[in-house]
Structure 1
């Protein structure tokens, strides 16, 4: 859901993947960015649009019955940049939700 939503610029996909109270922190170059995840993505999509040519790789770093950590490597977003995400997921009411994201974006 997260990757598909990111590629299509569809905030509904992001809302399905992220918990409504999810946060994100990270660097875009030297700039520290932080905030609530869904509104940050909405602003990004509204100003820049979709990233249909983005390529991604996901690695499950750790998984337990109700918690997981996933690394996402993405290349060629709408600006041609690449980034690493580290996502914390929690199984809430039977569904996996991203509750936090830390990232490094490269120009």
Structure 2
């Protein structure tokens, strides 16, 4: 039997988790520049707001974070759902974002020029106090 290399290296898993953690830290600190560094410039985002409207612009995340500031009490759990050689899907569960909002984020990542970048984010929000958030 021929010996083959495992393309799913531990270093890649750690790099993917690191990108997801930088994303969470950006939300926690309200640091938009930190959030931006995790996304590919052509990245996309989609999710439904409390009024039922679909949000599809990544800029919404950056603007919302800038306007609402840090979420110091945020709690997170990060799981890699699947990883291939140049693509990965990561689940990020968040509690205690601004105003007590929670979120389930599915981050699709691609390995681009040796760096893992979030290419898309699909999310589900758990709104606690909609008067405060929109």
* TM > 0.5: yes
Match of 2:93 in 1: 73
Contiguous gaps of at least 5 residues in structure 1: none
Q: Within 5 Å, which residues of 2 pair with 1:1-107?
A: 1-29=22-50, 31-37=52-58, 39-107=59-127
- Give the SS at the match of 1:41: helix
Instruction: Name the CA distance, whole Å, in 2 between partners of 1:32 and 1:103.
Output: 13
TM-score, normalised with respect to structure 2: 0.74
Instruction: Name the CA distance, whole Å, in 1 between partners of 2:24 and 2:47.
Output: 18
Instruction: Name the CA distance, whole Å, in 2 between partners of 1:9 and 1:46.
Output: 6
Q: CA deviation at 1:43?
A: 1.1
Larger helix proportion, structure 1 or 2? 2
CA contact (8 A) 1:22 1:98 kept: yes
Instruction: Name the CA distance, whole Å, in 2 between partners of 1:63 and 1:9.
Output: 28
- Give the SS at the match of 1:79: helix
RMSD (Å), alpha carbons: 1.2
**Number of aligned residues:** 106
CA contact (8 A) 1:67 1:88 kept: yes
Instruction: Name the CA distance, whole Å, in 1 between partners of 2:75 and 2:101.
Output: 11
Larger strand proportion, structure 1 or 2? 1
